Amino acid sequence: MQITTVLFDLDGTLLDTAPDLAAALNSVLEENRREPLPYETIRAVVSHGGIALIKLGFRLDESSPGFEPLRQRLLTIYHDNLSNRTRPFPGMTELLEQLERAGLNWGVVTNKPAWLTEPLLADFGLLERAACVVSGDTLDERKPHPAPMLHACELAGSRPEQCVYIGDARRDIEAGKNANMHTLVALFGYFLDEDNPHDWQADGLLDSPGDLLHWLENNGQTLQTLQ
């Protein structure tokens, strides 16, 4: 096995976006005279996007007439406050630098729309460094469909079997496996109580970003340039 490209999910994997998304949801709740929710309650559902956040906060079904206006308001507030409290997960900045020094490229495959993904990555100086950025509206298909993963491979110049995809949701692992990639679960991400990543049949579990290097080395990757 020789990995040439590392692909990351965005929310809950590359960046800890939960603080700003939680603040946006609580702002919408307060605008509608609802009590704000505890941060940890919101954090668990962040990887599932705006629909899941509105369902959590307002207990509404998507078919409700008021649902879509609330979701749009959430996204507007979030867009205006993309990186107030968002940060790379501890160790992620160092990991990206180490991958680049070792000659591996990296990219992002997310279901987040491009109008949120790209300015967020740009705020952290990551947009221009990424070999590929595939957002939720780049193609007609989204994860867990393999098309976004395969598109990322093409942009990064790697074959699927030369890529490893890291994410914190079952659909991330399904998407990577559907595309014939190696897959790893970011255990430092966002999980619901009912989630059991050990059952997702990923190729490995990462307690921290730096664990990727150990996984690569344990699976025969030569990383002398990291020493």
The CATH number linked to 184 is 3.40.50.1000
Cα 69 from Cα 90, distance rounded (Å): 35
Same domain, 101 and 195: yes
pTM of structure: 0.95
Q: Write out pLDDT tens, residues 123-152.
A: 999 999 999 999 999 999 999 999 999 999
Mean pLDDT of 104-108: 97
Same domain, 73 and 164: no
Domain end marker among 59, 79, 99? 79
Q: Is 161 exposed, middle or buried (0-12, 13-18, 19+ CB in 10 A)?
A: middle
Same domain, 198 and 98: yes
Cis bond before residue 144 (omega within 30° of 0) = yes
Same domain, 124 and 134: yes
Same domain, 106 and 218: yes
Same domain, 94 and 124: yes
Q: Is 9 a catalytic residue?
A: yes
Could you give the 3-state DSSP secondary structure of residue 17? coil
Same domain, 169 and 192: yes
Evaluate if residue 1 carries a pLDDT over 90: no
**Close Cβ partners of 66 (under 8 Å, ≥ 6 residues apart):** 58, 60
Mean pLDDT of 54-67: 95
Pick the catalytic residue: 9, 16, 20, 168? 9
Q: Using N-to-C axis directions, what is the helix angle for 67-79 and 114-123, rounded to 10°?
A: 20
Evaluate if residue 225 carries a pLDDT over 80: no
Please state which of the ranges 59-68, 80-89, 188-197, 216-225 shows the lowest mean pLDDT: 216-225
**Containing domain of residue 68, as a range?**
18-79
Same domain, 63 and 101: no
Pick the catalytic residue: 11, 16, 172, 211? 11
Same domain, 141 and 74: no
Q: Can you give the pLDDT at residue 219?
A: 85
Mean pLDDT of 10-19: 98
